[in-house]
């Protein structure tokens, strides 16, 4: 069964460094998302992406964040200068707008630890 994959599974970085989190969405999906989950808290929306541009972003997704679909398969989240509070699980999700589908499928996540 097709699934969303994410790499790396765990990333440790120093404060101020840039990180790039990578995702491969399900191949026939058209909408892509990033969410994050701080330890012990709920999952929070960061950004949605469709047709090579951002559809919507949350207040969390400030100028330090960017997303890109560099080729036909990858979808990346870049944090330009990481802060301690960026430590969280980051989940990529994808969906296909078929027959009114709202269903988003999540990857296994990347645990980002900023020291």
Partner 1 sequence: GQQLNQSPQSMFIQEGEDVSMNCTSSSIFNTWLWYKQDPGEGPVLLIALYKAGELTSNGRLTAQFGITRKDSFLNISASIPSDVGIYFCAPAMNRDDKIIFGKGTRLHILP
**Least distance in angstroms from the C-beta of 27 to partner 1:** 17
Q: Burial-class residue 44 by CB neighbours within 10 Å (0-12, 13-18, 19+).
A: middle
Q: Which of 11, 23, 27 is nearest to 106 (CA)?
A: 23
Which region among 13-21, 41-49, 70-78, 80-88 touches partner 1 (by CB under 8 A)? 41-49
Cβ contact 66:14 at 8 Å:
no
Residues 54-113 that bind partner 1 (CB under 8 A): 55-56, 58, 91, 93, 95, 97, 100-109, 111
Q: Residue 16 CB, nearest distance to partner 1 (Å)?
A: 27
- Regarding 13 and contact with partner 1 (CB under 8 A), the answer is no
């Amino acid at each position: 069964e097709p699934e969303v994959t994410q790499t790396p599974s765990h990333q440790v970085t120093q404060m101020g460094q840039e990180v790039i989190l990578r995702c491969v969405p399900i191949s026939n999906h058209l909408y892509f998302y990033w969410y994050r989950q701080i330890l012990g808290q709920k999952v929070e929306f960061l950004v949605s992406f469709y047709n090579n541009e951002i559809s919507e972003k949350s207040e969390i997704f400030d100028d330090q964040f960017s997303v890109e679909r560099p080729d036909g398969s990858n979808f990346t989240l870049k944090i330009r200068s990481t802060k301690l509070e960026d430590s969280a699980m980051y989940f990529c999700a994808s969906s296909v707008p078929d027959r009114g589908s709202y269903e988003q499928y999540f990857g296994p996540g990347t645990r980002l630890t900023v020291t």
